[in-house]
Amino acid sequence: MAVAIPSPTLAVDHVTSPDVADQLAQDFSRFVAQHERMLLGFAQMIAGHRADAEDLVQTALAKAYLKWGRLHRDDFDAVAYIRRIIINEHHSLWRRAFKRREYATEVMPEVGVEDIHPDDELWEQVMELPPRQRAVIALRFYSDMSVADTADVLKCSEGTVKSQTSRALTTLRGHLDVDSVVGEGDRR
């Protein structure tokens, strides 16, 4: 996915020097090149479909770019900030979709190509989890974040992260044949 970067003056209107604006634009481009694939994978875990994930990442990066002059500091975790934007955008999409009314038609829409291999049972079960549990699983196990970092990104307590993780894992264990996912020697 290629990110279209807007004019640097949009993002750094508080900076008067064109050299500084160009430097910030280059820094942002390097940041995107370094983190885009990971952010896209995270967004796909949240959204479930690659096209939706690409839209979420595009929106999140566009919003981050507009604030890049303030975000691009050593003491600020821009990746965590962008993950939070992705989660917020996904929730906003669900809220908007819930408000829309759908009507039955005589002709069914064409079914798109599945983004996920159909026999990937674990992935299918993760996508069935409630959005909050899916976000916790994506952050904890896909992004390999700690409980504290996950709580910070989701703006909730560590206890909530632990309980949501436990509920999600219990649900997944109940729906999956554990022996098919984890080898006999790996179970404890």
The CATH H-level superfamily of 12-100+117-181 is PhyR, sigma-like (SL) domain (1.20.140.160)
- Residue 65, both tokens: 């770019």
Contact 170, 78 (CB under 8 A): no
pLDDT confidence of residue 72: 75
pLDDT confidence of residue 167: 94
Closest CA to 133 of 86, 165, 158, 179: 165
Between the alpha carbon of residue 101 and those of residues 46, 98, 112, 119, the distances in Å are 23, 8, 22, 32
Which contacts of 43-52 are long-range, i.e. CB under 8 A and separated by 24 or more positions?
Answer: 43/86, 43/90, 44/115, 45/126, 45/134, 45/137, 45/138, 45/142, 46/86, 46/87, 46/90, 46/131, 46/134, 46/135, 46/138, 47/90, 48/115, 48/116, 48/127, 49/115, 50/115, 51/115, 52/93
pLDDT confidence of residue 104: 60
Q: What is the DSSP string of 134-148?
A: HHHHIIIIIS---HH
Residues in contact with 158: Cβ distance below 8 Å, sequence separation at least 6, in sequence order: 147, 148, 151
First to last CA, the chain: 40
pLDDT confidence of residue 21: 82
pLDDT tens, residue order, the chain (188 aa)? 555 555 444 444 454 577 888 888 899 999 999 999 999 999 998 888 899 999 999 999 999 998 888 877 766 788 999 999 999 998 887 666 555 555 566 666 565 545 445 446 777 888 888 989 999 998 898 888 899 999 988 889 999 999 999 999 999 888 776 545 444 444 43
CA distance 21 to 25: 6
pLDDT confidence of residue 62: 93
DSSP class of residue 184 equals G
pLDDT confidence of residue 7: 46
State the virtual CA torsion across 162, 165, 167, 170 in degrees, nearest 10. Answer: -120
